[in-house]
A and B are shown apart, each in its own frame.
Chain A
Amino acid sequence: MLTVGVVDYGVGNIGSLSRALSVCGAKPLVTDREVDFKIVDACVLPGVGAFKDAMDLLRARNLDKILEDQILAHDIPILGVCLGMQLLASKGMEHGEHDGLNWVPGSVVPLVPKNRERIPHVGWNNVEYDAPNPLLADIPPGEDFYFVHSYHFVAENPNHVAATTPYCGDFTSVINNGSIYGTQFHPEKSQAIGLKLLKNFIRIAGEF
């Protein structure tokens, strides 16, 4: 059974994510300790709340460095969820400009209504893509996932955009850069289709 590290930095819905990973056949390890990240097969970065606060909390536990040394440097698959995905960006523009982890070049900016859409974007919306991606295996384009957010990821490199979602124009809902993945939606809250995506992520980790 694969061990998936769930980054514990005091932000985010760790309970549902861990439980979802168990149901999908992995062993979740909720931790902030470097020794644990040395042995995990994959890693999930959760996150809820404000960009700067979350980055401050990661740094306060030295997790930015630990994840870079133990996950990024070894190409261990990582999945950022919601704010966790946004933290992978170079910078966040929420309440001022703040540095992110800079693992996927890009910035996190507010959703801006194009056609009187209400912000935040709350609810189920479709995830669309052209090129297949292992994270989206057996998930046809157009499936609905659960979103709850006011900011979105703008990737510098269009090749890092794995899927988009139509709201305020099209925003990036799945990113992928090598072994780094991120979803703006909450797979752990998206019922059966969300669990399928998490199983795909675990399979990616198993094949690594």
Chain B
Amino acid sequence: MLKTRIIPTLLYRDYGLVKGVGFDSWRHVGSLMQSIKVYNMRNVDELIIVDIKATGDGRTPDCGWVNDFADDCFMPLTVGGGVISPDHVGKLLDVGADKVAMNTAAYEDPGLVRKVAAKYGSQCAVVSIDFRRNADGSLEVVTHSGRNPRGTDLAEFARIAEDSGAGEILLTSVDLDGTMKGYDLEAIKVVSDAVSIPVIASGGAGCYDHMLDAIRQGGATAVAAASIFHFTEQTPAEARAHLRKAGIPVRRD
């Protein structure tokens, strides 16, 4: 049986590991390299590693850097930040990424996802969708690290991403990011129902029950989390044990 993944998200800028609240108020939380080593030793299911400043700085992905951390890490890696062309995806796969996350560029150019899927296969094309919940309850896609509201409905864009060839959706609530108040379950449900590709829930996890809710109520295929692991004593291994006790299929330790 396919196991439900628990995925620590590592955000970095200027090679330092950071975490914010609502995609803002970034705090330095340690060394990226060190964290990757620790998570590798602890046998986490997968890591998502994103350069959050790349798009803002107009930079392309630093493949040398990815190469450095991927080589010693015999575990699945999803890498993102600044990916705007199929060539970037090819280079990241070459240096050890298994999947590549595309966010702003995937929104602005659905042709990018189509080309990546055709050349490298859908299985490596992750479309990372950030969204906000408006006062009227509508769910709106945002890009550029959450700064640009796009006026596009979340479910509609999720379907466009799937039709373009995305193999997975990384769904992040900007409003709940870093708050540790729990995932946006309704949004996860809306997207899980809208597409038939895997959906990774992200943004808001503060305890293991939040993860359980995202899986049970939201229908998430996998759960990503950052603050809970950076700022509390909670660990991916305990999360796994908690989910197992609740009857969710997870990996053996």
CA distance A172 to B140 in the complex (A): 41
A49 partner, pick from B40, B74, B120, beta carbons under 8 A: B120
By the criterion CB–CB under 8 Å, are A15 and B70 in contact?
Answer: yes
By the criterion CB–CB under 8 Å, are B167 and A15 in contact?
Answer: no
B93 in the interface (beta carbon within 8 A): yes
A191 partner, pick from B4, B67, B74, beta carbons under 8 A: B74
By the criterion CB–CB under 8 Å, are B221 and A16 in contact?
Answer: no
CA distance A124 to B198 in the complex (A): 13
Report the nearest A residue to B5, measured CB to CB.
A123
A194 partner residues in chain B, CB cutoff 8 A: 74
A29 in the interface (beta carbon within 8 A): no
By the criterion CB–CB under 8 Å, are A124 and B98 in contact?
Answer: no
By the criterion CB–CB under 8 Å, are A120 and B122 in contact?
Answer: yes
Interface string of A78-116 (1 = CB under 8 A from B): 000001000000000001000000000000000001001
By the criterion CB–CB under 8 Å, are A12 and B196 in contact?
Answer: no
CA distance A119 to B124 in the complex (A): 12
A70 in the interface (beta carbon within 8 A): no
Interface 9-residue window, one of A35-43, A146-154, A156-164 = A146-154
By the criterion CB–CB under 8 Å, are A13 and B94 in contact?
Answer: yes
- Name the interface residues of B117-168: CB closer than 8 Å to any CB of A: 118-124, 167-168
CA distance A146 to B94 in the complex (A): 18
Report the nearest B residue to A187, measured CB to CB.
B74
Number of A residues contacting the other chain (C-beta, 8 Å)? 42
B197 partner, pick from A23, A119, A125, A144, beta carbons under 8 A: A119
A186 in the interface (beta carbon within 8 A): yes
CA distance A16 to B77 in the complex (A): 11
B245 in the interface (beta carbon within 8 A): no
By the criterion CB–CB under 8 Å, are B75 and A189 in contact?
Answer: yes
CA distance A95 to B165 in the complex (A): 13
Known A-B contacts A15-B94, A190-B74, A191-B74; the reply to A120 vs B123 at CB < 8 A is: yes
A192 partner, pick from B43, B99, B221, beta carbons under 8 A: B43
Report the nearest A residue to B44, measured CB to CB.
A191
A121 in the interface (beta carbon within 8 A): yes
By the criterion CB–CB under 8 Å, are B74 and A188 in contact?
Answer: yes
By the criterion CB–CB under 8 Å, are B1 and A15 in contact?
Answer: no
A59 in the interface (beta carbon within 8 A): no
By the criterion CB–CB under 8 Å, are A123 and B75 in contact?
Answer: no
Nearest chain B CB to A167 CB, angstrom units: 6
CA distance A122 to B197 in the complex (A): 10
A61 in the interface (beta carbon within 8 A): no
B167 partner, pick from A122, A166, A167, beta carbons under 8 A: A122
B95 partner residues in chain A, CB cutoff 8 A: 15
A50 in the interface (beta carbon within 8 A): yes
A15 partner, pick from B71, B118, B122, B222, beta carbons under 8 A: B71
Report the nearest A residue to B7, measured CB to CB.
A123
B76 in the interface (beta carbon within 8 A): yes
A19 partner residues in chain B, CB cutoff 8 A: 71-72, 74
CA distance A12 to B76 in the complex (A): 14
B251 in the interface (beta carbon within 8 A): yes
A48 partner residues in chain B, CB cutoff 8 A: 93, 120-121, 124
A149 partner residues in chain B, CB cutoff 8 A: 121, 123
Report the nearest B residue to A53, measured CB to CB.
B119
A195 in the interface (beta carbon within 8 A): yes
A179 in the interface (beta carbon within 8 A): no
CA distance A20 to B72 in the complex (A): 8
Known A-B contacts A118-B198, A148-B98; the reply to A189 vs B2 at CB < 8 A is: no
Known A-B contacts A118-B196, A189-B76; the reply to A123 vs B2 at CB < 8 A is: yes
Nearest chain A CB to B78 CB, angstrom units: 10
Residues of A within 8 A of B (CB): 12-16, 19-20, 23, 48-50, 53, 83, 95, 113, 116-126, 143-144, 146, 148-150, 166-167, 186, 188-192, 194-195
- 9 CB contacts below 8 A, A to B, read A13-B96, A23-B74, A50-B118, A118-B198, A122-B221, A123-B46, A143-B252, A144-B252, A148-B167
Using A124-B2, A144-B251, A149-B121 as known contacts, list a sample of 17 further A-B pairs with CB atoms less than 8 Å apart, ordered by residue number in A. A15-B71, A19-B72, A48-B93, A49-B119, A50-B119, A50-B121, A113-B196, A118-B221, A121-B2, A122-B123, A122-B222, A123-B45, A124-B251, A125-B3, A144-B252, A150-B121, A189-B75
